Amino acid sequence: MQKKTDAQLPMNKKKPLVNIPPVPAVLLSIISVQGGAAIAKGIFPVLGAASTALIRIGLSAVILMMVNRPNLKLLTAKQWKAVIPYGICLGAMNLVFYLAIKRIPLGLGVTLEFVGPLMLAIFGSKRIVDYLWVLLAAAGIALIAPWGNKGIDLIGIFLALAAGGFWASYIVLGGRISKLMNGGDAVTVGMLFATLVVLPFGIGSGGLGQMTPVLLLLGIALALLSSAIPFTLEISALRQMPARTFSILMSIEPAVAALSGLVLLDEHLNLYQWIAVALVIIASAGATLTAKKALPAEPVI
């Protein structure tokens, strides 16, 4: 009997695109995002928020389609019902966050966005120890936030909080879709719908008229580092750990950003900010340790 190729297998039976333990997968995802953020910092002032989001998501979709080549005809009705909202949430999360940091400082935007995953961790927790990690992470994020700034744009704050809500929804939907589809296929198909969400805003902003070959190359790197690679790693991790543990572990991202700023941009932190970094790292380490005893969510197939 002829052995089926990977492309011919049902989407929930294919081999995972990546086979990395969940904790290293999340950490690599965070590092990748920070590399992409450095590239976006150069693109954002030229193309604008919406067009940068479109370049990031659209090129990610193209790259993932070329690499994964999912057979859309094999998707079941149950898989379509799961992957469409996952993709919509993915696109909205990125677009709204980019629009938020156009109005408010990046540090404040990242901090406010983390409210979503932290609230998800609190509401999804059933053990006292999980609340401890959430409290430590929340304390660290509070210390990082520039609460003393005056004249902060209220619309920007609302958009950052909305991005946090989409992020929490992305975690929940990602956990569900990871039980129904192969991770690579789920991210690829989801990215197609994310592109449809961002497309009208990216075109309407007019930023694409400033595109040059150099910016296109930077956009490809941005797509790989900020979307294609981390989202694939994250959905692989969500197959193997509870959503609340994933949420707490992702709180290490502000700490990685602070360290990247110190090493790459010579951005020095004050004492309170280093304490914040330490609290976030402790919370993330604690979540990693308790994750070994936590079982993944039951499949919904």
What digits encode the pLDDT tens for the residues 27-54? Answer: 888 888 877 777 777 788 888 888 888 9
Residue 299: inside a domain, yes or no? no
- Give the residue among 129, 230, 225 at the shortest CA–CA distance from 174: 230
In whole numbers, what is the pLDDT of the chain averaged over residues?
Answer: 76
Residue 234: inside a domain, yes or no? yes
Q: Residue length, the chain? A: 301
**Which structural domain range is residue 199 located in?**
18-291
Average pLDDT of the residues in 4-28: 61
* Structure-block tokens of residue 144: 């990082």
- Tell me the pTM: 0.75
Whole-number Å distance between alpha carbons of 60 and 290: 33
Residue 5: inside a domain, yes or no? no
Residue 125: inside a domain, yes or no? yes
Residue 56: inside a domain, yes or no? yes
Residue 301: inside a domain, yes or no? no
Question: What pLDDT shows up at residue 144?
Answer: 67
Query: Which residue spans within 37-183 are E strands per DSSP?
Result: none
Residue 85: inside a domain, yes or no? yes
- Give the residue among 185, 209, 153 at the shortest CA–CA distance from 83: 185
Number of domains in the chain: 1
> With bands split at pLDDT 50, 70 and 90, how would you rate the model's confidence at 5?
very low
> With bands split at pLDDT 50, 70 and 90, how would you rate the model's confidence at 91?
very high
Residue 8: inside a domain, yes or no? no
